[in-house]
Every structure is written in C-alpha cells, then in structure tokens.
Amino acid sequence: MLINEKLPLDLAKFAQEDQVLHLSGASWSDYEKLESPEYSQYLISYFDNQITIMSPGRNHERIAELIGILIEAYCEKIDLLYFPFGSTRLKEGEQVGKEPDTGYAFEVDKEHPDLAVEVNFTSGSINDLTKYRYLKIKEVWLWQDLEIKFYYLDDGSYRQITASFVLPGIEAEILTKYLHRGFKESPLNIKKDWLIANPEDN
C-alpha cells in the first residue's frame, strides 16, 4: 500500500476544511505503520479493513480546542480530577483503532477515556460511534451539522442523551450555543461566560 504517494493531503485547502483519505483493503499492520511521527498531523482510524486518514481544517481545530477548554474549565470549577488523552490512539485488539479529537478520564486515570470528543465538519459520520462501541468508551460527544450531541453507552449500544452522565450539569443544547461563538470570539471570553453559567453548586 503506497501511503506516501497519497500524502500529504492538499495543504492549500488545509486552512478551511477537513480533508479525508479512505484506504480500503488495509490490514492492521498497514495501520500500525501510520503511527510514525511523519503522520502525527493526521487523525487516523481503522475498522473493517479500512484506514481513514483525516487532516483537520481550521474550524475543526477551533471547535475541538474550545470543547477541551470548556471541559477542563468545568472540571476545575467543580474540583473534578481529569486526565487528558488528547488524540491518543485507542485500540481494541486488531479490530479497531481510533484517534479522537480529544478525550478525558475522570476521577482516576484509566487505560481508555471515559469521554471521547469527535468533531465532524466535512469528514466522519455518526458511524464513528461503531468504532467507539468496540472500544467501550462510556460517553461520546459528536459535533456534526453545527451542533453537539451526547451519546452514552448503555447495554452495549449508544443512546442519545440531552445532558452528560460523566459531567453532570453540562447540557448538549447549551454547550452548542457556546461552541458557535468559537468561530468569531476568543476562547478567553467564552470560557469566562461558561464559568459564570456553570456555578459550582449546579
């Protein structure tokens, strides 16, 4: 599989939109070859003999970064210990590999995060939940179509919830409104308003 003939993706488009490359008929060993530093700028996943390589655009990065900022601010406000995973590659046997936009374990550190965050603009889909189901990630936040939705793993499948179970007090509809501000405003101002709206006794 001639990966290097297909990479890097078109960096002229990188600033504004995600770019995605799908490689079918791939093996797990092909996937593991993409763990080298030269591919660190990409988010890479593997499932059902397909490798997906994604180069995130500017808006993607802004939303993903803002979600992380607001999660950490909320944890600091309620004094909840958190352990960031960032885009650490998560694996389950040789079946599934996934690099979330960010992820967190809470209260104590764990092998896998309690929460994974997936940002989709021109890439990905709700089918990413299948990969997270194999990884047994307790909760997934999926940004798609300009809104964030929360999914909780219940009896082996994800169901949509309106408020987070792992971070009680955070509602998807309200968080979406703050994330919309991220396209034009500094995260500093958004974070300040977020903390005021989420007092410690909530």
CB 79 within 8 A of CB 57: no
Strands in 147-154's sheet, in edge-to-edge order, are 82-84, 102-106, 115-119, 139-144, 147-154, 157-161
Helix (H, G, I), strand (E, B) or coil at 10: coil
Query: What torsion, rounded to 10 degrees, do the Cα atoms 193, 195, 197, 200 define?
Result: -170
Digit-by-digit pLDDT tens for the chain (202 residues) are: 444 545 554 544 444 567 888 899 999 999 998 887 888 888 999 999 999 998 888 888 999 999 999 999 999 999 999 999 999 999 999 999 999 999 999 999 999 999 999 998 755 555 789 999 999 999 999 998 899 999 999 999 999 999 999 999 899 999 999 999 999 999 999 999 999 887 554 4
149 three-state secondary structure: strand
Distances (CA, A) of 196 to 18, 72, 131: 33, 14, 36
What the chain holds in terms of domains, given with CATH numbers, is 6-55 (no CATH), 58-197 (3.90.1570.10)
